[in-house]
Amino acid sequence: SVASTSSIPRYYRYRWDERRTFVYQLEVYGYAVARRADNSMVNGTKLLNLAGLTRGKRDGILKNMDGRDVVKTGPMQLKGVW
């Protein structure tokens, strides 16, 4: 059978000017998960959304992360806890 368009992963690389780095982004099943090129941090919010965690479980995990970077402004795919 032929896979639907939404299940075909798409890969992008673009500049994140506010943080002066590049971002590698993978879109799969309607979710975008990004990784920073400068320090390899991953947007944990988006990753846990892709994994199907509830908002409560997701927020509980992310709240207890050491060294997290909370992004509240900018493009939607970059907002979240890194």
pLDDT per residue as tens digits for the range 25-62: 999 888 899 999 999 999 999 999 999 999 999 999 99
The pTM (predicted TM-score) of the whole model is: 0.84
In which residue are the tokens 């998960």 written? 33
Strand, coil or helix: what is 39? coil
Which is higher by pLDDT, 42 or 8? 42
pLDDT tops 80 at residue 5:
no
* DSSP character at residue 73: S
Q: Which residues pair with 26 in a beta bridge?
A: 11, 33
Statement: residue 81 has pLDDT above 90? yes
Per-residue confidence band for 3, with pLDDT thresholds at 50, 70 and 90: very low
